[in-house]
Every structure is written in C-alpha cells, then in structure tokens.
Chains A and B, each alone.
Chain A
Amino acid sequence: MSLRRFILKRFISIIPILFGVSVITFALVHLTPGDPIDQMVGLNPDMSPSEEAQLRARYGLDGPIWHQYMTWMENVLTGDFGEVISSGRDVSEVIMTRLPETIALGLFGWVFGLIIAIPTGIYAAVNKDQLGDTVSRFLALSGISIPNFWLGLMLILIGSMWLGWWPVLAPSRLPLYHPEMLWYLVLPGITIGTASAAAMMRVMRTSMAEELNKEYVTAARAKGLPERQVVLKHVLRNSLISVVTLAATLTASIISGSVVVEFVFNWPGLGMELVNAIEQREINLIMAITLFVGVIIIIANLVADILYAALDPRIRYD
C-alpha cells in the first residue's frame, strides 16, 4: 500500500471515532438528572410550565434524547454550538477567545519539553549507566511522578514568594501577544511541560540507546568515524522518529494538564473555561469544549501515525 492510501485509510477510520466522541460527549451531559432549565425553574418558582417548555425548546432540550442529539449534531456540523445560557454569548465565540491562551500555554510547554528532553536524552543514552544517566533518569522519573498542580503551586512558592521574580499572577490587562507575556508564561509553561519533557526524555534515551547498539553504528565506529559524528548524523535521526511521534500524541496530556494548570495560575484559557462551565452546568459549553478537545486529539494521533509511517521506512502500511 502506498503512503497516500495509508493516509486516506486512516482518515476514513476516524469518522466512526468522531461519531463515537460526539455520542459520548452528548450522553455524558444529558443522561444525568438536572439540566440548566431545571435550575432556572428552581431559581424562579414563578415560571409556568409553558414558559419552561419554551425555554427547553429554545435550547433544544425538548423531545426524545436521540432527537435532541440529532438537532445538536445538525447545528454543530453547521458550526453552531449554541449559546452560553447564563450570558447569552455564542459558545464558538467564547471558545475562540479562550483558545489562543491555551495554545500559547501548550506550545510553550511543548517546546520547553522538547528543548529539555532531546539533549538530556542524548546525553543519558551516550553516557548510559554512568552517574549523569542515573541522575537524569531519576529526574525524569520525578518529572512524570509529580502532580502538575502541585508543581505549579511549588513554582509559585519558589518563583514568586522566595525569589520574587514573578508576580503570582500575570497582570490582568496585558494582552496575550504582548512580548512581556513570555515572561509570565514561564511558570505555567514549565508546569505544563515538565511531564512531557520527562516522558520524551525517557523515550529519547531508550530509542537512542537501542540505535547505538545496532550494527550500522558498530560498523560506522569501526570505520573510524568520530563518535560525535556517529551520534549526531546517524543515530539521532533514527531516534528522533519515536520522540517526534510521541510529541504529537502528548497533545492529550497537555490538554489534560491545561485544565489543572490554568486553574492554578488563573490562566484564562479553555481549561479554565471548562472548569467554570462545569461549575455552572453550561452544557453547551461543556459539550463544545469536550468535542473540540476530542477532535484535536484524534487529529494529533492521526498526525502521529502519519509522521511515524512517513519517517520510518521499515513500516508497512496496511
């Protein structure tokens, strides 16, 4: 099978998954008792059943559940995610204003992860079982074991209170694109990137060590090529494949992380919005964000698969 056909096939295979994601998202918020209208009625005992019915119709909460699902999907497919019930704002508008904040944070964390992971991984693999390797492996193990919200709290304690380098929270009026924001991204960015850095470092080290044991490396060394050239020219390229693939799939963990990390740093991104939406039972918002995240992860995994297939010549596509 050609690479092109492989990609096409993978594309088709995500359709049922997308469908499943939408069903699960919808079911999660609809199969539990109590919806926003119940709450509105609770707050306003004067409301008559007819008013209640009107409200339900307005928010598409009337009719049998499968019908509600169809209506919702119809709207979603035309890009209409409904409105935020309490404020009347457009859900897609809310997502669009929050998204850049999360992307900036995630990107910072991701880049931070790569910058830390690749050199450390190489260093550890080359100096396998020596002190440097042991220390970096221990750090990597710590990195994946540390709860990110606690890491965030600790960084605030250290960075803001003891060192005094950062204000605890970024200034509220500074726009995201302001260059100064880079400085304020440091603590939340490190928090969100640490786990990814540790995971990537471990993979980097392992695949690098594996490559280093391969015959062609021994052959290259035997030819008398300098070690540095062997590592950087031959080994690195092959080892990077798994790291790059992993980096793409780490999207899910970065998104999971953003929920908690944004909460710790009061960062006004999608994760924070999701927490607020859950607090206020804003079902349209919850569903939209969940669906959105699901789609991003599916795409990221797709990219990872394709990258892997494209980069590794040994892969057969079927």
Chain B
Amino acid sequence: MVQKHNQSGRNVNRRQVLQGVGGAGVIAVAGCLGNGNGDGDAPFEVQLEVNADNDDRVQMVELIAESMEQTGYFDTSIETYEWNTYVGRVLDTEYAENGHIAAIGLSGTFNPESFADALHQSDNHGQCCNLQGISDDELDDLLEGARFDMDVVEDSELRAERYDEIWQHLAENRYSSITHFDLLAPVISADLHGYSTYPFTEGLFDYGLYAPQDEQVSWLDRDEGSHPDDTDLGDLEEGGMLTIGAGANVDSFDVPYSNDTTSTMAQEFIFEQLVTSDADGNLYPWLAEDYELVEMQDIEREDYEDYMISVDADEDGVLGTDEQVIIQHPDDNPFTDDEVRVLTPDEAADAVDDGTFGMQFQYELREGVEFHNGEELSAEHVVATYERYENSDLSAQTFDSVLHAEEVDEYTVNLYAQVPDAEAERELPGVYIHSLEQADLEGGDMDPRQGNDPVGTGPYEFDEFVDEQYAEYTKFDDYWVEQQGVDSIDWYDGPAEFPDGPVVEEIEFEIIPDDATRSGALQNEEIDATFGLASGTLDEFDQSDEFLVEAVEAGSYDYIQYPVNVEPWDDSRLREAVNHLVPREQITENVFNGWAVPAWTDVPALAEELGTVDPDALEEQIRPYNEYDPERAEELLEEVVDDYDL
C-alpha cells in the first residue's frame, strides 16, 4: 500500500517498494535507551529512528550515531520499531515536527528522478518518502523541469544537464544523506549455467531464464565437473526443474492488487508487458511488435479543466465518486474544498477525442500471441487490462501518467499521456496484459486461493500453489516466441543457436522466509538459487566452486533524512556536518561486508545514463560534500553552536 502513494520513481515493473524487512525478521518493538555514554551535556540531542527488522540498517544507524557521539557535539539515542509501525509512523505528516532523524530504504529505478523526487518533492510529504516535510520550491521546479517538459522529452542531453543541477542543489542543501546503493547479489548453485543478474529483484529469474534483448538464457546442467565458467551457449541443455528459494510468501497473484517484490517475481513468469527492458534500461518492443510517439502537445493538467466534472469531497478529503480519478484539478484541494473538479475515464476519453492530450503513442501488437487459456492477444486485451488497473492497488502509479488507452483496430492500440513526460515511453506501457477471461475479476480474485489460476501470455504456465509453501510452474507449450521463433523479433540480432524461449522445463518457487534457512537449503542442494542472504556469508559463497554470486549494482538505497523543519536542523550547516559524519566507506565495508556501494553521489550506475552528463565529473564535483570528515564537521558544528549560543 505504501508505494501506491508514490507519485514517481517507479522502476520498469512499476513497483516502488520500500526496502523494509531485511532478514530473518527479528522482532523488536519500540525501545529506547541512551547510548550508554550520554552524559547529557552535548549541545545537540537527537533521536535516530529505524525499523528493527533490518539488522544491517540498524547496525548502520548505530554506526552513524556513534560517529556523531564521538564529536562530543551530539547526544544520540536510537529507537527501533517493527516495520509496519515504523512505516505508519514516518509517513504521518506530523512526523516532521518530532525532530528525529529517520532512516529508511527505497527502491529506485532507471529513472534518475527516483533518487531525488520521492525523498524531496514537496507533494510527497506524508506519502512516500518525503518524511520530514521538505518543501523547496526551487527543487520542485527543477524536478518538474527534468521530466514534464517538452524540451527534455526531445533532448535527453538537456535532461541530463538538468539532473546535474539537481544533484548540485541537493548537495548544497543536504536534506537527506543517501548512504549507499545496494548490490543485488543472488546466490546460485553451479548447476545453473548462463545466469546473469537483472538489477531489480522482481526480475531476477524471469530475466535470468530468458531475455533475448541481452542474449540471456540459463539452463540446468547437473553433471559433476561442468562449471558455468567453462560452458557457453553451445553446451545448452534443455529441461530440468529449477528450484528458487524466496524470502516471503506470495501475497497475491493478482497483478494490480499486489505490490510486494515476491508477488511480482512470482507473477513475472506468467505475465508479460507490451515492452521489455534490458539490464541497462533500454526498451524493446515485446508483445507490441513496434511502437512510436505519434504526437506531443504542450499541455498542462489545468488544460483538462473544461472536461472535468465536479464531485463532492468530505472533510477527510474523500471524493464522492467510484470512478478512477485520472486527474484532479491542481487548484482544488479535497481537504478544504467541498467540491473538487476531476477527470475520470469517461471524460478522459472525451478529451482525447477532442485532441486534448500530452502525448500519443501507438503500439502495433504482435499477431498470434496465445494466452495460457487459448485466447489470442488483441487490442481489446490491452484496453481491458488498463480498465482493471483502475482503482486498484496500483492505480495511483499507473494513472499519474496514463490518460487513456484506446483500441484502434484489432492489433493497434493508442496510449495517451496526460502531459509531456520524458518517462512516458517507459511508464505508459508498464502493465501486465490480462486475458479477457480474467479482466472482469473482482480485485484480488485473480489468485489460486480465490479459485482462479492466473493466466497470461508468459513462458510459464501456473501449475500449483500451496500458501506459504511453494508455487510451481511448467513451460507453456504454445509460448509465442517458441511458436514464432526468436528471429521473428525484428530487433533481435543475436546468434542463431539462441533458443526460442526459456529451456528450463519446470520452476519450483519455494517460500523460505528465514535467511539462514535459505542459506542452509542452498548448501544442502534443496534449492538452486536464492537471494537476500546475509552479506556476511556472501564472500564464502563467492569463493566456493559450488556456488556463484552474480552481483550487480541495484536501484535500492538507504538514506537518513533530517528534520529540516525543526530548529536547529533548519540550518543547512548542521545537516552538512552530520553528512560529513556519515562514514560511507565503513558502512559498506563493515556493515555490508563490501556488498554495497557507497553513495558518493545521489545517482547510482543504473541511472547514470539518463541522470548525468558525465558520471566522473559529477562524482568529482559532489564527492567532497559526502566524504567522512569529522574535522570539517566539527568546524561546522562549532559555527552552529556559536550562532545559536548553545
């Protein structure tokens, strides 16, 4: 539910997941005690808060607190909360008045915005994840200008320049300190050959098994003595059952009514989208054979005013309509106004008919794509899918950019964006196409627990699911790539021996919540692959011949955010000083045992292509702000103490 309110910063799979529970889910509820050495005479007293179930994050916060204490300027205490309590607490708008430093994690995407906007954009206060009520008009404008602007849609160089301005602005103001970027490091047994890692957890295995855009395929070879390092495509073997260990239950197979990473991972074997992405974030037509941007107009959200209808709003800001609200008039406030002007799907269609829209993309669907229930993909499926996303758990992140989906003919669909949007190409088609048979199911019903086995166009068919235990899949015989051949995909220019579809015959998706148990299961050869193991053990797996650790820099990151609206934290020198006390090197080396990347800038490798003109120059420019430098910190603190007469 959290990410539902996130207006931006989505990844390819339209999932914005707060990186919460890290490990074995060790319990802890609110607890409080001074750091033991607090003698009460330090000028600044501050409480750091963190969710208790992520051991690494707790350790990181302890380290930051200790580093602050050592200057003698701070009296710190750490309070931990159970995850759900914590999220409820920090997303409350009143949290900003407490004056605590909050630590949390977030999952970013190829879109550089996801490393700035969610944290800092003023509209995201009380939503995800501007926890401290940061409200910086200049920054808001910069963020808007780097995405919703016709110029940047057409000129990606200009877009990168604008992001460079944002990073500089953030470095000077330091509302938050991003500490590190995670490495995604699945551990696989040496029986799995050809595997490579996708930078987002939910795509780890669906991508690893088959992704012609990167000529990626993996296969099982259980022969002793054959090691993945020594084999290539020529040694490919078909068949076998791949057993994957996942750390959480599959909450639901119903795509628009689930938003956790594990559910998405379990769904991605079954469902596909109009486009697909390679590991660098480049897009390729997939279920659509081709697509193009037909038209772009300089439209703002206010321009839909003529089409809007008025609906009641009660004192809690709840709107009196059952329809999906696609656009709400920017001047209206549902909390203070009795009536609010909104655009719902019907009016959106009218607006599009009259030529009012930000962008128009046209998708030519591939013919002869078969669903697991025998239906053939058509424009109707696409339109029905968008309808099912209305008022779903994913509606907010879908209809922040999508205006309308329109069937042109059997194999042609138009998708419209509300305003010019540099991310529209990625954002608009980001839905998993449903079968017509299931397009009318009630929310949450597309799930074996409700008696409906999920049906999609994907390479694997759903077989069986036992709640909290396992899910099983078998290869779909009529998978369209297999039927039509990978060579029929016009952008494919890889080797001829590359298979037409994944070669592993069956997938067993085991649910084993405890990290340690999963680690044990992998070593006992009960499972072939898993992820999310304790970083302390990864080196050992890496050094072993029987396992491979394929790490890539991922989009998820941790940050601490300062209470910028509470004195003395409104003084940027204080925030700058604490930022110099964040020992990024030690965090990655000692807390994460080297399995993380220090955040010297706010933009990870993943988003560098779109997010900066020159990554090296950016690092040179920003890194001095983020170095661990207690001396500089103490200078700044002394200044602040003098100024405030503390």
Contact = CB atoms under 8 A, between A and B. Distances in A.
So, do A and B actually touch in the complex, CB under 8 Å?
yes
A266 B2 contact: no
Contacts of B517: 169, 172, 266
Contacts of A49: 316
Contact of A171 (B1, B25, B88, B526): B526
Interface stretch (B105-113, B360-368, B421-429, B508-516): B508-516
Contact of A275 (B27, B92, B510): B27
Given A43-B91, A266-B517, A171 B84 contact: no
B82 A281 contact: yes
Interface string B291-312: 0000000000000000000000
Given A42-B89, A45-B126, A279-B82, A168 B526 contact: no
A106 B582 CA distance: 48
Contacts of B82: 279-281
A104 to B, nearest CB: 18
Interface in A260-284: 266, 275-276, 278-281
A42 B87 contact: yes
Nearest to A278: B27
A215 interface: no
B520 interface: yes
Contact of A266 (B91, B467, B514): B514
Interface in B1-15: 1-2, 4-5
B510 A45 contact: no
Contacts of A46: 4-5
Given A266-B514, A279-B27, A171 B521 contact: yes
Interface string B74-98: 0000000010110111011000000
B27 A167 contact: no
Contacts of B88: 38-39, 41-43
B282 interface: no
A34 interface: yes
B318 interface: yes
Contact of A280 (B84, B516, B520): B84
What size tier do the contact residues of chain B reach? 20 to 34
Contacts of A50: 318
Given A34-B85, A173-B526, A42 B520 contact: no
A48 B91 contact: no
B543 interface: no
A44 interface: yes
Interface residues of A, number: 27
Nearest to B520: A169
Contacts of B514: 169, 266
A39 B85 CA distance: 6
A209 B29 CA distance: 49
A152 B467 CA distance: 30
Interface in B396-413: none
Nearest to A49: B316
A202 B133 CA distance: 63
Contacts of B4: 44, 46
A125 to B, nearest CB: 43
Nearest to B251: A87
Interface string B579-591: 0000000000000
A46 B396 CA distance: 11
Contacts of B526: 171-173
A266 B127 CA distance: 36
A195 to B, nearest CB: 23
Given A275-B27, A280-B82, A281-B82, A45 B516 contact: no
Contacts of B314: 48
B37 interface: no
B516 A279 contact: no
Nearest to B469: A173
Contacts of B87: 42-43
Contacts of B2: 43
Interface in A28-56: 34, 38-39, 41-46, 48-50
A280 B82 CA distance: 8
Given A42-B89, A167-B524, A279-B82, 15 more contacts: A42-B84, A42-B87, A42-B88, A42-B91, A44-B4, A89-B467, A167-B520, A168-B520, A169-B520, A171-B524, A171-B526, A173-B526, A276-B25, A279-B29, A281-B84
12 contacts: A39-B84, A42-B84, A43-B2, A43-B84, A48-B314, A89-B467, A168-B520, A172-B512, A172-B526, A266-B517, A275-B27, A278-B27
4 smallest beta-carbon distances between A and B, as pairs: A42-B88, A279-B27, A48-B318, A44-B1
Interface of A: 34, 38-39, 41-46, 48-50, 87, 89, 167-169, 171-173, 266, 275-276, 278-281
